[in-house]
Amino acid sequence: MADIFDNVVRDLADMLPGAVDGVRTGNQFTAKCESPIELAFAAALSISSTISGFDVRWGRTPGDRPSSFLMIEPQAQIGEYRVDFLCAAIDARGFLLSECVVVECDGHEWHEKTKEQAARDKARDRYLQLHVAGVIHFTGSELFRAPGECVRETMEMIRKVYHP
């Protein structure tokens, strides 16, 4: 049994350099990432999705779509707020905001330094929670220490809210 898993790991390891090169050489999302922690999350999500065999689309774009794919939109606008990432599993029905998950990458320098900042962040979260299926926050420390775990939690939340 161990040989089977060793083969899986070996085969995935062979795929990893290509996935990393794809991220490094200019996937369109990199231009929209506004911080190193956003880039770390986007890269981990892109690489993990590629290795898992997902068809990933970066943003809401019209055109020829497969029957299902993972949509990831960096710096998406929801009402008056811009979120770091809007993520959803999309099927033939198309885009449904009620089945989307918002991922926020919270660097210490931008969040909750003052009472006013904390109040704005809480109001923003309440608004988002009324319009999307879930909001998940990761700290910069989490994203640098274990980006794969952050991606796993994100995918778990997307699967939880997705109702084909």
Whether 79 has a pLDDT exceeding 70, the answer reads yes
pTM of the predicted structure, to 2 decimals: 0.77
Tell me what the mean pLDDT of segment 42-67 comes to: 70
- Tell me the C-alpha distance between 70 and 48, whole Å: 12
Which pLDDT value is given to residue 49?
76
Tell me what the mean pLDDT of segment 88-106 comes to: 78
Tell me what the mean pLDDT of segment 17-22 comes to: 61
Tell me what the mean pLDDT of segment 96-110 comes to: 79
C-beta contacts of 77-83 below 8 A and 24+ residues apart? 78/102, 78/128, 78/131, 78/132, 79/127, 79/131, 81/124, 81/127, 81/128, 83/128
Tell me what the mean pLDDT of segment 11-26 comes to: 61
Whether 2 has a pLDDT exceeding 60, the answer reads no
- Tell me the C-alpha distance between 83 and 135, whole Å: 10
- When mean pLDDT is compared across 11-25, 34-48, 86-100, 148-162, the lowest value belongs to 11-25
Whether 136 has a pLDDT exceeding 60, the answer reads yes
Whether 110 has a pLDDT exceeding 60, the answer reads no
Which pLDDT value is given to residue 8?
60
